[in-house]
Amino acid sequence: LKKILLGIEGIKAKGNLDLDIEGIEKNSKEVKKGYMFIAIKGFSVDGHKYINNAIENGARCVMVEEGCDLKELNIPKDVAVVMAKDTREALAVSSANFYKNPSKKFKLIGVTGTKGKTTTTFMIKEILEKAGKKVGLIGTIATYINGKKLKDSDRTTPESLELQQLFNQMVEEGVEYVVMEVSSQSLKLHRVDACDFDIVLFTNFSEDHISEKEHPNMQDYFESKLKIFNQSKVACVNLNMDNIENLLKVLDYAKNSEKIITFGTTRNADVFAYNIEKKGLHTSFKVKTPYFNNKILLTMPGLFNIENALAAIAVSVAMKIPYKNIYEGLKVARSSGRMELYTNKDKKIIAIVDYAHNKLSFEKLYESTIKEYPDRKIVTVFGCPGGHAIIRRRDLGVLSGLNSDITYLTAEDPGMEKTEDICEEIAGYVKKVGGKYKIIEDRGEAIKTAIMENPDSVILITGKGNETRQKIGTTYVKCLTDVQYAKNALKEYDRIYINTQNAKKKVVKK
């Protein structure tokens, strides 16, 4: 127990600390004999109320937060008690100690920012695998170990205990590099405390995640993200950030790292792109780095992916990965549910499935779509989550209203709220800027209707990507992915319209 508590500041202990601890848990139901239970004060649940349940299940030590009334908790004398200033911080440190600090046993790359985290982590993963490395990935979509998907994700960055468990499993499976998405919430709530980051990457910053359960304001959101520089050796920073004041602040915080590598499309960046060319769905550009000046080819649609590629190159430069592996990795890189493009048989309809779900990602998506498909109508299908990121309803409603010929509003993890209420709120903003909209609560029907009603269009299906579940109430309900919904609808369109046209042609010939 004493070893598990190393590094936790200001702890007070009562009882025998010369104990062998068999495991750590924050959920009393999962506690087993010989475990330490750590009580966490959450948004809706206070773990201190379940201490006796944990003891009944076999906990021999409990950790409580400073300020608790131990007499009121009525903990048995034979159970050791540890009091910490912040049990969330203590959970992170004790979890890392229990699993013998696994993040020190591989190269850890952390990626944060408002947009681009998922795509960039997949790009880095692909580059490292082309270099023959064993790679783990933890992010919004899923967790991967050595190329195999371990499990789907419930949140961008796992709770600290689960995170250290995953790190430990990766060590056991011989992983050499781990690339992970680091959310602002994970930094604010100490999920990544005790992680030993070799490289951190700051992609960009824009307004998002403002709500009672996340960040009360933009300053809190921004400063939460900046914390990542306090625990990194090398910092990679995007010089193409829209707000110069934010960029200067990021660069100032990045000085806490031993080294800074900048990237962007400006020549003062350490890694910069030039001679950008778009041919069909492919994008090529030259990139100059401290080690090479050569061509990069992206087969992933979307001009905004140039920034994501530069971010991945900057990380690769920090690790001194050869140009050949960088080129090969980026050429084939794919992120599930990101800029996946599908068409019907005669290509009258282009459906793009993308995980875009906040203001910055919508701005970039529209900017790219307008440049790439100037002669087509734009149709958008999306919704907003219930209970958090409330500001998106205004931002995405306005952007969709301004940039879409019509918007289809639908379910997108409504949680405890009614889908209809969320859609009506978004619709108010769409209407305010003169946009047209339809509300179709069933997501599959919304995607199908958008495709069937809008030939000669680009249908942007955003928010869910390849996710297989919708959060309704407090549970996750299985559903088809946006990709599958789109494919089914495109087949249906072809079946009805192309077959009808062919039949008409036969009648004319006769």
Task: Give the per-residue SS3 of 457-509.
Answer: EEEEEECCCCCCEEEECCEEEECCCHHHHHHHHHHHHHHHHHHHHHHHHHHHH
Q: Which is higher by pLDDT, 172 or 142? A: 172
pTM of the model: 0.81
Q: Which two tokens stand for residue 46?
A: 């206070």
Partnered with residue 469 across adjacent β-strands are 478
pLDDT range class, residue 115, cuts 50, 70, 90: confident
Region 290-310: what's the mean pLDDT? 91
pLDDT range class, residue 503, cuts 50, 70, 90: low
* Residue 82: count of CB within 10 angstroms of its CB: 23
pLDDT range class, residue 54, cuts 50, 70, 90: very high
Region 77-90: what's the mean pLDDT? 93
Q: CA–CA separation, 8 vs 93, rounded Å?
A: 7
Q: CA–CA separation, 291 vs 110, rounded Å?
A: 23
Q: Give the pLDDT confidence score for residue 134 in this predicted structure.
A: 98
Q: Which two tokens stand for residue 52?
A: 């006796």
Q: CA–CA separation, 444 vs 446, rounded Å?
A: 5
Q: Give the pLDDT confidence score for residue 304 in this predicted structure.
A: 79
pLDDT range class, residue 400, cuts 50, 70, 90: very high
Helical H segments across 147-217, by residue range: 160-172, 184-188
Strands annotated E in 333-478: 340-343, 349-354, 377-382, 406-409, 437-439, 457-462, 469-472, 475-478
Return all residues near 256 (Cβ < 8 A) that are at least 6 apart: 229, 230, 232, 235
pLDDT range class, residue 501, cuts 50, 70, 90: low
Residue 103 scores a pLDDT above 90:
yes
Residue 360 scores a pLDDT above 90:
no
Partnered with residue 29 across adjacent β-strands are none
Q: CA–CA separation, 35 vs 41, rounded Å?
A: 19
**In this structure, is the dihedral angle defined by the CA atoms of residues 250, 255, 257 and 262, taken in order, positive or negative?**
positive
Region 162-170: what's the mean pLDDT? 97
| Residue showing tokens 């039949």 | 503
Q: Give the pLDDT confidence score for residue 506 in this predicted structure.
A: 55
Q: Give the pLDDT confidence score for residue 165 in this predicted structure.
A: 97
pLDDT range class, residue 502, cuts 50, 70, 90: low
Residue 201 scores a pLDDT above 60:
yes
Residue 209 scores a pLDDT above 60:
no
pLDDT range class, residue 71, cuts 50, 70, 90: confident
Residue 510 scores a pLDDT above 70:
no
SS3 218: helix
Q: Give the pLDDT confidence score for residue 208 in this predicted structure.
A: 62
Residue 509 scores a pLDDT above 60:
no
Region 351-372: what's the mean pLDDT? 90
DSSP 105: G
